Amino acid sequence: MTLIELKENAAALIAKSNFEEAFKLLFGSLDAGRPLFQNLIQQSGRHSRTLQDDLGGVISRENANLEYNQIRQALLHLVNQLEEKDLGSGGSREDPLAIVAKDLPVDFPLTPLYLVNCDRRDPLRLFWSVFNDSVEQSRRFQFYFLPCCPSQQPEGFAERIVNELLENELDGEYGAMDYRRRPASGEERLLIEPLPLGNNLEGSKKKFKKYFADRFGLANSDLAFEEYLRTGLPALPWDYVVTAFKIIDEDWDDARLRPYLEWLMATFSATGPDIPNFLFFFIVTIKHAHREGHAAAAAQEAMAGVKALVAARGKDRQESEAAAPGDATLIEPLPPVAATDLEKWMDRLGDVREDQKQGVIKILASRLKGDEASWYSDRKEFNMERIEDFQEKVYQAHKNK
């Protein structure tokens, strides 16, 4: 789109008071490094506040119209000022979100927890309830199943648990926990590994024993694996060992997977006391898991299999308190995140202005398309992958303060 076309299209939208589309067009066209882009963010935040006050009856219709008129005039003035160098092809090409992230008033160095700690209050409460019960009952092994849509970042939820354990239970002592890291991420990011699988139950057992031996330096034999679980020798030097496996719904074959996972849980639960606390996360990727009736046939089979497995073995705390022995827990499919929860996350960072918060939300919303855009329009909720992308930009900008 040429500069002339952009000006004409934007002016037409503004004249019709179609502010949402005008902001979307301009955010997608301007260079985030130019001063006019910062002006655009301010006007976007002003519009969001006015709209919210207008819909909520906080201000009179007369005052609301006055605000809208002032925003309209400010936007038209901005559009008239645009030059070629203000377009995305000129000057800095840095992502607008990265620029906004740098400008947030964060007064303390961020820890890796801030990569993944937005919302998820209910599943987090469930985890800590189960975890605390396990500690009281001296259960050394815990198994958490997360059937979840990839767009909701169940990997991030597991990573959040790791970081909360490190900060709250271990006082930041990384050496007290063993978990595999993503390549090139240093001490920060949790690696999610494919579940070792064979063609049948015995083949899967063999692959898991090899994985365990390779990871912890045991002799690669059935005897060494069983001896460790029985005696705790050779002793592992950590308080916690965290393992996160991923299972694709297409790979869920109930006849093959359920006996394997039941064997794994039964085997690890029958151990002596001189071992670390082992936490297993099984992430089962199911597209649209949070949207009833949208999952494909393979996804429905996987979901049913996970629920049946947990019901037979452990405690689905959201449905029943009667199941036993209680070492397996179902985390219900994680839903999208309300925009207001992203605002609350930014409030944790410091004295973030309202226009900055609304500017972030406007940029995120402007990038949505198709079904995702419709979902946001109806519910004002983002897929967690959108939010974690922004969190990473904030973290990278402020982790070394």
pLDDT for the residue numbered 230:
78
Q: Which of 105-119, 177-191, 387-401 has the lowest mean pLDDT?
A: 177-191
CA 151 to chain centre: 8
Q: pLDDT by residue (tens digit) across 357-367?
A: 998 998 899 88
Q: What is the pTM (predicted TM-score) of this model?
A: 0.77
Mean pLDDT of 6-10: 92
Amino acid at 77: H
pLDDT for the residue numbered 94:
62
d(CA 70, CA 14): 12
Percent of the chain with pLDDT over 70: 92
pLDDT for the residue numbered 324:
42
Q: Which domains does the chain have, with CATH numbers?
A: 3-108+339-398 (no CATH), 121-330 (3.40.50)
d(CA 358, CA 340): 10
Check pLDDT > 50 for residue 316: no
Band (pLDDT 50/70/90 cuts) for residue 376 is: very high
Neighbours of 109 (CB within 10 A): 11
CA separation, residue 42 to residues 48, 71, 342, 355 (Å): 10, 10, 18, 6
Check pLDDT > 60 for residue 288: yes
Band (pLDDT 50/70/90 cuts) for residue 317 is: very low
pLDDT for the residue numbered 361:
93
Mean pLDDT of 262-273: 80
Q: Please count the residues of the chain.
A: 401
Neighbours of 320 (CB within 10 A): 10
Band (pLDDT 50/70/90 cuts) for residue 325 is: very low
Check pLDDT > 90 for residue 183: no
Residue whose C-alpha is closest to residue 98's, from 381, 336, 364, 385: 364
d(CA 231, CA 225): 10
Q: pLDDT by residue (tens digit) across 297-306?
A: 778 889 999 9
Quick one: DSSP state of residue 116?
Answer: T
Element (H, E) at 243: strand 240-248
